[in-house]
Amino acid sequence: MPLLTDDQKMLQETASSFLAEEGSITKQLRQWRDSGCTDGYGSDLWKQFGELGLTGICIPEEQGGLGLGAVEATLVLEEIGRNLTPSPFLTTAVVGAKAIAGTAHAERWYPGILSGEAVLTLAVDENRRHAPEQTALTAERRGNGFVLNGTKQFVVHGNSADVMLTVARTAGSPGEESGLTLFAVPKGAAGVESVTLADSSKAARLAFNNVELDADAVVGDVDNGWAPLSRALDAGRVGAAAELVGVAAGASTMTVDYLKQRKQFGKLIGEFQSLQHRAAHLYGEIEIARACALKAAELIDSGDAKAELMVAVAKAKAADVASLSVREGVQMHGGIGMTDEHDIGLYLKREAVLGELFGDVYYHRNKVAELSGY
């Protein structure tokens, strides 16, 4: 696992203390879920992210950001996962910031991201399974702009985002990577059906019915959207992997604490060797998943050709380990683990959503095989 620098350790400690206090399950997840918040997260907390400079991790220094990278973003995202903090950090400060990097849209949206006021999201999937190259939503030229027709599914924060970075097909056929273009679609341009996901976060189904956009809405170059899309997706995948590591670690810590407190047959259940073995195995698996996520982030930051492969490894491994951790946690908690009153079940729900985001474990296992020549 890559060794962290002193500055990275300081960032990690800052994010850990901040989110443990301000982003806790009680103060954030349960509060916004139980109050029926339509955004699913607190705007005040998002602004606090900005005040701490966390929203600028992936934004260059010359544009007001910290000029850091994917490694630093994973450190923050692991703490978000550990505390189940509802936040647009992944979709906005990581995926959105990477997608618009180097374009005129960066000048437009980076200030809002830095202040914790703007929210961006990526609209890519159209069916039940993640398959960016299967994009069928069309963008036909009309005058000086484009007209979009089609639908998007599972758009996280799509009901509240200020801009939706939408993948559309300007040439070619579904299944082809060429001919895709990324568009910055403003809030209110498309029809929105808000949906609540398993972990109480908010997403949307989008309907584009003759949505007219001018040429300035294009992110990058027409027909060459695969490059910015891949950059954004890889950042999102390693970010989701890091958050899944946090979910796994948070659930594991909660479970181990319970093993040290719960008594059965006159003994602490943590004294039973079979449970000790399972806890030890899980600890090792979490460390491996964390190492994979950090390595993938490191390769992204260095521009290594093997970054895409390692990103797929990290997402597949983290999803697999997080699934193991939350299932073990619920089982070891016994009956109380199945109730809403106990937080362990909330980790299971977050893992279910994150595991699907930007490709599930099977998608990425297959990608690892393909990139390895099988």
Say what the pLDDT of residue 1 is: 55
Say what the pLDDT of residue 2 is: 62
Q: Are residues 115 and 126 in the same domain?
A: no
| Residue 337: band (very low, low, confident or very high) from pLDDT cuts 50, 70, 90 | confident
| Residue 260: band (very low, low, confident or very high) from pLDDT cuts 50, 70, 90 | confident
Contact 150, 126 (CB under 8 A): yes
Which residues constitute the domain of residue 209? 122-224
Q: How far apart (Å, rounded) are the C-alpha atoms in residues 80 and 319?
A: 16
* Residue located via tokens 């095989």: 369
Average pLDDT for 251-270: 83
Q: What is the pLDDT of residues 100-119, one digit of tens each?
A: 999 999 999 999 999 999 99
Among candidate residues 10, 172, 12, 154, the one with its CA nearest the CA of residue 78 = 12
Average pLDDT for 122-144: 95
Out of 125-134, 188-197, 329-338, which region has the weakest mean confidence (pLDDT)?
329-338
> What is the SS3 assignment for 307?
helix
Q: Quick check: 352 pLDDT over 80?
A: yes
CB contact set of 179 (below 8 Å; sequence gap of 6+) = 169, 170, 171, 172, 173, 223
Q: Are residues 238 and 338 in the same domain?
A: yes
Q: How far apart (Å, rounded) are the C-alpha atoms in residues 181 and 101?
A: 15
| Residue 333: band (very low, low, confident or very high) from pLDDT cuts 50, 70, 90 | confident
Torsion angle of C-alpha atoms 232, 234, 235, 240, degrees rounded to 10: 120
Q: How far apart (Å, rounded) are the C-alpha atoms in residues 204 and 197?
A: 10
Say what the pLDDT of residue 261 is: 84
Q: How far apart (Å, rounded) are the C-alpha atoms in residues 296 and 303?
A: 11
Q: Quick check: 157 pLDDT over 60?
A: yes
Residue 297 CA: distances (Å) to CA of 117, 239, 260: 26, 8, 35
| Identity of the amino acid at 144 | N
Q: Are residues 244 and 360 in the same domain?
A: yes
Record the tokens describing residue 188, joined without a space: 């209110």
Q: Quick check: 316 pLDDT over 60?
A: yes
Say what the pLDDT of residue 266 is: 75
Contact 252, 283 (CB under 8 A): yes
Q: How far apart (Å, rounded) are the C-alpha atoms in residues 193 and 8?
A: 40
The count of structural domains within the chain is 3
Q: Quick check: 228 pLDDT over 60?
A: yes
Q: How far apart (Å, rounded) are the C-alpha atoms in residues 148 and 209?
A: 7
Q: Are residues 111 and 127 in the same domain?
A: no
Host H or E run for residue 317: helix 307-333
Task: Give the domain CATH number at 218.
Answer: 2.40.110.10
| Residue 3: band (very low, low, confident or very high) from pLDDT cuts 50, 70, 90 | confident
User: 1 lies in a domain?
Assistant: no
Task: Give the domain CATH number at 315.
Answer: 1.20.140.10
pLDDT above 90 covers what percent of the chain? 89
Among candidate residues 327, 324, 256, 254, the one with its CA nearest the CA of residue 289 = 324
Average pLDDT for 37-52: 95
Average pLDDT for 8-25: 96
User: 14 lies in a domain?
Assistant: yes
| Residue 72: band (very low, low, confident or very high) from pLDDT cuts 50, 70, 90 | very high
Q: Are residues 11 and 106 in the same domain?
A: yes
| Residue 81: band (very low, low, confident or very high) from pLDDT cuts 50, 70, 90 | very high
Paired with 318 in beta bridges are: none
Backbone Cα Rg of the chain:
21
* Residue located via tokens 């946090």: 246
Kindly report the average pLDDT of the chain as a whole number: 94
Q: Are residues 194 and 60 in the same domain?
A: no
| Residue 305: band (very low, low, confident or very high) from pLDDT cuts 50, 70, 90 | very high
| Residue 180: band (very low, low, confident or very high) from pLDDT cuts 50, 70, 90 | very high
Q: How far apart (Å, rounded) are the C-alpha atoms in residues 269 and 75?
A: 33
Contact 150, 208 (CB under 8 A): yes
Say what the pLDDT of residue 274 is: 83
